[in-house]
Amino acid sequence: MVSTRLLAAFLISALAVTSAFAQDRRVPSSQAELRLSYAPIVQRVRPAVVNVYAAKVIQNHNPLLDDPIFRRFFGVPGQQPEQMQRSLGSGVMVDPSGLVVTNNHVIEGADQVKVSLSDKREFEAEIVLKDTRSDLAVLRLKDVHEKFPTLDFANSDELQVGDVVLAIGNPFGVGQTVTHGIISALARTQVGITDYQFFIQTDAAINPGNSGGALVDMTGKLAGINTAIFSRSGGSQGIGFAIPANMVRVVVASARNGGKAVKRPWLGARLQAVTPEIAETLGLRRPTGALVASIVSGSPAARAGLKPSDLIVAIEGQPIDDPNAFDYRFATRPLGGAAEIDVQRAGRPMKLTVPLETAPDGGRHEIVLTTRSPFQGAKVANISPAVADEMHLDMDSEGVVVTDVADDSIAANYGFQKGDIIVAVNGENIAKTSDLERATHENSRVWRIKLVRGGQQISATLGG
């Protein structure tokens, strides 16, 4: 009897659950419900998303071919074979005249760049501006006489975790593809991709070839430029990163104004992260903010009254969690005005106004060293405030900094890196690029070099 009652009760509850599910699962009652879709947004924005093809000629280097006796004996021509190296990415049309924004790493070192539109037409493109600090580049289509569809910029500061977004690009070269997901996180600062570590994280599928493509919000505006993925397999694992539209806007504005480099505000102070130990010392409830470590005399920070040990907690009302967040917020402020920052000094809150102006760049004197020496193929510059800011050098650094090293050059083969500071060569101090250039003209069989890399001094002896 008991078991019969239990069975009856179970059947009644099962019928109730089945009835509930049946109520949830119903046939759409109208055409509108049946046709809920992202298609209208995709149709509107898709023509503004392009494919970017970059090609670079590389020289196949065989060290045996450097030997003239080997070439004469075996009849090998002195000209070494060339090979075309190609890369594929995506881009976004941001100006009807044919201005395209993409990732710098998509076109880095390219000898030829082509842009393919969604209607299959192809155009040669010139590189208008490259900004390695944000990993963005701006291209312009050549020989065009028409207006192109574009995407408007969203205000990326208004995005929220959970917002639905679409990623449009050309993954794996299969053609233009649309994926959808949500914003998983904002203000990701520990990614290590660019100087300005402040990314939108999304679970919309982003794969190789998506770099430079559009991350679009539900109003059809550009929320960000898809840049990187976290993956152990090489494919999408639901963790993708995009550069916020507000940073993209700054780079595009510089290109529209004819600039070859992006002009950004300069603070003139070195900031450091707040560790749990520092937070405890300062009496903070949690380790947040950007701590002022040092200040350049006469800089905007100094004129605003900022002092060492001040804790920056907000800029223009936007909270600051760490120095990366401050760098991004400050870099996206327009030049010519001022920014209000919230500071805690000895536990007391206060507001300071920092003028927004560029770093002094007089006396850079950037040159490429061409004389045969261990430095051949390196580009070097004097350390001006602007160079120190761009290269993240200590503000009191002395010497000549390496700003670039040509691939397969003698300097690259010897292991010189971007950011190395050359302080002495063969016992002579190097204070200016002219000093280093003069040193390279010496016929020396042994080169004794002192340099600073990552704050550490290195001494090396190289063969001539």
pLDDT at 21: 41
pLDDT at 9: 45
Catalytic residues: 105, 135, 211
Please report how many Cα atoms fall inside a 13 Å half-sphere around the Cα of residue 294, on the Cβ side: 6
Count of Cβ atoms closer than 10 Å to residue 216 Cβ? 30
Helices (H), 145-271: 245-256
3-state secondary structure of 350: strand
Backbone phi and psi for residue 68, each to the nearest 5 degrees, phi listed first? -65, -30
Which residues have a Cβ under 8 Å from the Cβ of 38 and sit 6 or more positions away?
A: 166, 178, 180
Which residues have a Cβ under 8 Å from the Cβ of 166 and sit 6 or more positions away?
A: 38, 41, 42, 45, 178, 179, 180, 204, 214, 215, 216
d(CA 155, CA 383): 35
Q: pLDDT 10s digit of each residue in the chain, 464 long?
A: 444 444 444 444 444 444 444 445 666 677 776 667 888 899 999 999 999 998 877 655 555 555 555 555 555 555 555 655 677 889 999 999 999 999 998 888 888 899 989 888 999 999 999 988 888 999 999 988 899 999 999 998 888 998 999 999 887 777 788 898 898 888 766 655 566 667 888 888 887 788 888 999 999 999 999 887 665 555 556 678 889 999 999 999 989 888 778 888 999 998 999 999 998 888 888 899 999 999 988 899 999 999 999 999 999 999 998 888 898 899 889 888 899 999 999 889 999 999 999 988 878 899 999 988 899 999 999 988 888 888 878 777 888 999 989 888 889 888 999 989 999 999 899 999 999 999 888 888 889 999 998 888 888 888 76
